[in-house]
Structure 1
């Protein structure tokens, strides 16, 4: 099985790569930081691992590496659209350059890559697309104006695509992580003022999330919501909306 993981150099992407490495999959790891990818490849097994250094926020790089990856390791069986960035600051404090890069990487890139790889999966009548969205796609969080928009768009596209391709041998898994321990999560949390609500927010492990994703692919489950408590977000959106509006800590004031 050939598994592609974008944003594989750290955090959730790294955990997914390690999980599939333990399962004996052939891996294509895609990210900007070559040294981290090389280290990860050496740990999961370079003989079955292909490393691609690419800035996926650049549209020219999004699928330029796919043909070579398939020549090395065979057709892509599982595409994990995980690469992304998060901006936690007020909408007006965000520069348009920052916003555009986020929208390109978090929304444009997974859609373009899926569009390219999906055609080949449909021809073979097999394959899985995994879209790592966010609970922010269901319950938008104050202070994440552009991130909410990107993850909401990805989740909507992912959920709709599942029904479109389910009778053609291709499965789609939509992943809704809440806070999961990583450098990005720590930076996001640090942007808010410290309150009791922020201190006791349920936070998950990237290793557990990676295992749940692999199981969802194997058992053809439609979605993963993790930590598990966040299933309430999907089923009680109005209550969640009230809680977020009421309990989300204020953003820290930027230094002048």
Structure 2
């Protein structure tokens, strides 16, 4: 029997396989475009949103999960109301559209960002103006916090982000898990803590009490001329205390660093 030679037929690509290939190619284009556009900045939002919220009492808590915050106390802000401005930029290559929400729950302003998926890149910023006479507490998961103009109690706690406070004379508490802390204030009492980051306090009026603690980072405390009861220590770093010391002084300074230089000096 003579064998009959067969010519192999050209390979065929099934429609489902071809569709998947096209989908993958499209996804690659989207991902490439998203990657090239990474680095969203809220500052690029040319049309920020504005909203006023009623404030029922003399205290406000700002609860933010992922946003840069700027908080200002102003005589021009009407009593019983806060004004919020929001900037937002965000892209998600594959997934739900990004968005931000804001709401008021009693005396708590809740700010949330939803930005998840493949190559998610979002950036939010809020500016919050409060009337004088309002004590403010900030609870932030991620984002820098800046505050100014407070005559009443101010507490700022952020897990990840720097903290900056200026032009403030009320009792002050500052805490950052990962980020630098800096304040230039005339507050009678200041409590500041940084888990990982430098800490710099400049007091423009003689304080009653200053307490600072830094886990990993340098600490500098600048004080007006005067005598102070100083209790300082550092685990691993130089210690330079040059303010006049008086163990009977009513002005107390306690400073601790785990790893970093500690400086307590008279302000120039």
TM-score, normalisation: structure 2: 0.24
TM-score, normalisation: structure 1: 0.25
Structure number with bigger Rg: 2
